[in-house]
Amino acid sequence: MVKPILSVKELYLYYRVRAGLVKAVDGASLDLYNEESLAVIGESGSGKSSLAKALLRLLPRNVYRFDGSVYIDGEDVMKLSDKDFDSRIRWNKISMVPQASMNALNPVIKIGEQLAEPLIIHKGMDKNEALDKAREMLKFVGIPQEFIDRYPFELSGGMRQRVVIAMALITQPSIVILDEPTSALDVLTQANIMNLLKRIKNDRKVSYIFITHDIALSSELSDKVAVMYAGHIVEYSYADKFYREPQHPYSQLLLSSVPTLRSDKNIRFIPGEPPSLLNPPPGCRFHPRCPYAMDICRKEEPPIIDMERNSYVRCWLYAKR
């Protein structure tokens, strides 16, 4: 039995705000195998970015609850101290391409130096060696090597994105979290970046957690899919099944609400708005918008119901009586 490279069990992340408690991640479980790509799909307020931050322990100051198990290479990294996590795990085993990456570059430091930084900090390399590796990396992501001495403002949006991706890969982690990596890019540039990410996956054998709100885009880079809604993973399935036969009503509605270029379909939209994480509705969080809501949905939160091949759904429709 091949073991997963990343195994998350019952991860919780709550944080406290003036108005109350935000349950950003409310018991998430997933597995990621070698060279596999897991797409995490959700809208704003679903908790998907919090999930990414939780995995990298980039927590806000007002954390209220943070527990669960996260096994990387068989080790539960939740048990590590912050210091150990920082030196051994973060950017060594698992790294991230953050949202709005293009603004994540320091405008007053040259590209080369920024790219070399993770090596200097996390691998203890000396500056020259790190810069050499940086040059290699630039070539790999398709940027001419002279750009090592340029500043971020001299690069176009697409190029900056490539630099940020390079920064996430330079320490050769086995898992890379991509948090909306193409959100502000043009369609053609987006396609080029997706091509790059696919190539990296094949050549470097990394595993991806690909977070996005764009369902169509998610299909470009997903072997497995996790759909998040209001802090829960409501469906966890494998790509071939998910896009053709989504199980959860939310997934179904989501897929039918996205206009497609190549096929004609009946467009349906989901009434209402995503719920607030401060005061989620009782019972199943999707019930106010669900066309199949039953009595029990209004009262009790549905449990995880296992389906075939390690997939699961959180929905009363699939509970066996």
Partner 1 sequence: MQRDKETEFCNPNAILCIRDLYVWHPIKKFLVISGYVRALDGVSFDLERGKILAIVGESGSGKTTLGKTILRIYKPTKGRIIYDNRDVTFLKGKEIKWYRREIGYVQQDPYGALPPFMNIRQILEEPLIIHGIKKDERMHRIREVLEEVKLIPVEDFINKYPHMLSGGQQQRVVIARALVLRPKLIIADEPVSMLDASVRIEILTLFRELQKRHNISIIYITHDLSTAKYFSDKVAVMYAGHIVEMAQTESLLTKPLHPYTQALIKAIPDPDPANRFSFKEIPPGEPPSLLNPPPGCRFHPRCPYAMDICRKEEPPTVIVDGDHGVKCWLYG
Question: Does 257 engage in binding with partner 1 (CB under 8 A)?
Answer: yes
52 vs 254, beta carbon nearer partner 1? 254
Judged by CB under 8 A, the residue of 116, 164, 233, 253 near partner 1 is: 253
Indicate the helix (H) or strand (E) that contains 137: helix 127-140
Indicate the helix (H) or strand (E) that contains 218: helix 215-218
Q: Which two tokens stand for residue 286?
A: 């999707």
Query: How many other C-beta atoms can be found within 10 angstroms of the C-beta atom of residue 254?
Result: 21
Burial class (CB in 10 A: 0-12, 13-18, 19+), 192: middle
To the nearest 5 percent, what fractions of the chain are helix, strand and coil?
40, 25, 40
Judged by CB under 8 A, the residue of 74, 203, 266, 269 near partner 1 is: 269
Residues 84 to 103 in contact with partner 1, rule: CB under 8 A? none
Residues 148 to 207 in contact with partner 1, rule: CB under 8 A? 156-158, 186-192, 194-195, 198-199
Judged by CB under 8 A, the residue of 35, 73, 214, 301 near partner 1 is: 214
In the stretch 100-139, what mask flags binding to partner 1 with x, by CB under 8 A? ----------------------------------------
How far is C-alpha 205 from the geometric centre of its chain's CA atoms? 18
210 vs 316, beta carbon nearer partner 1? 210
194 vs 304, beta carbon nearer partner 1? 194
Could you tell me where the DSSP H helices lie in the chain? 48-55, 82-84, 111-122, 127-140, 157-169, 187-204, 215-218, 239-242, 249-256, 295-299
Tell me the sheet residues that pair with 63: 15
Question: Where does this chain bind partner 1 (CB under 8 A)?
Answer: 37, 43-44, 156-158, 186-192, 194-195, 198-199, 213-223, 239-240, 242-244, 253-255, 257-263, 267-271, 273-274
